[in-house]
């Protein structure tokens, strides 16, 4: 395990929302993070598909972790996600890459993919540095 992965895992241990919703770090590198979530009954909407809020939260956690890889602290400033498809079972992943890192803000692109790499959602999140 790299030092960056160890620090990231330690930081997200305190994220009760993420833990409660079974979102897990799969990989982290400088300016890059991948999170996964197994679809469970409690993560589905009334139509039996993964809830849009769960997809958005997974994307927010992945992009936030990619932003944090420089060792500073950030809060989400804005998030924009385009929902394209959905999935009822299996695993979804949010793949986040820093697009631009400024002095006080970071722009991170994200793709949320389902089983077989099917693109479920895509978007971008901006973060504000708070320390």
- The residues with which 131 forms a beta bridge, in sequence order, are none
Q: Can you give the pLDDT at residue 51? A: 97
Q: What is the mean pLDDT of residues 5-31?
A: 93
SS3 label, residue 94:
strand
pLDDT one-digit tens code per residue, 75-112: 999 999 999 999 999 999 999 999 999 999 999 999 99
Does 131 score more than 90 pLDDT?
no
Asked whether the beta carbons of 6 and 13 are under 8 A apart, the reply is no
pLDDT one-digit tens code per residue, 60-71: 999 999 999 999
What own/partner pairs with CB < 8 Å and gap ≥ 24 does 3-8 have?
4/28, 4/29, 4/30, 4/69, 7/71, 8/33, 8/65, 8/68, 8/69
Q: Can you give the pLDDT at residue 68? A: 96
């Amino acid at each position: 395990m790299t030092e960056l992965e160890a620090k990231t895992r330690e930081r997200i241990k305190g994220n009760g929302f993420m833990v409660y919703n079974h979102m897990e770090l799969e990989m982290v590198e400088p300016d890059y993070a991948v999170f996964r979530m197994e679809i469970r009954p409690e993560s589905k909407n009334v139509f039996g598909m993964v809830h849009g809020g769960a997809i958005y939260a997974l994307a927010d956690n992945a992009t936030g972790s990619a932003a944090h890889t420089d060792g500073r602290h950030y809060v989400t400033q804005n998030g924009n996600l385009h929902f394209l498809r959905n999935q009822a079972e299996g695993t979804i992943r949010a793949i986040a890459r820093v697009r631009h890192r400024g002095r006080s803000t970071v722009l991170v692109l994200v793709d949320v993919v389902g089983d077989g790499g099917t693109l479920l959602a895509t978007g971008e999140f901006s973060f504000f540095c708070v320390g």
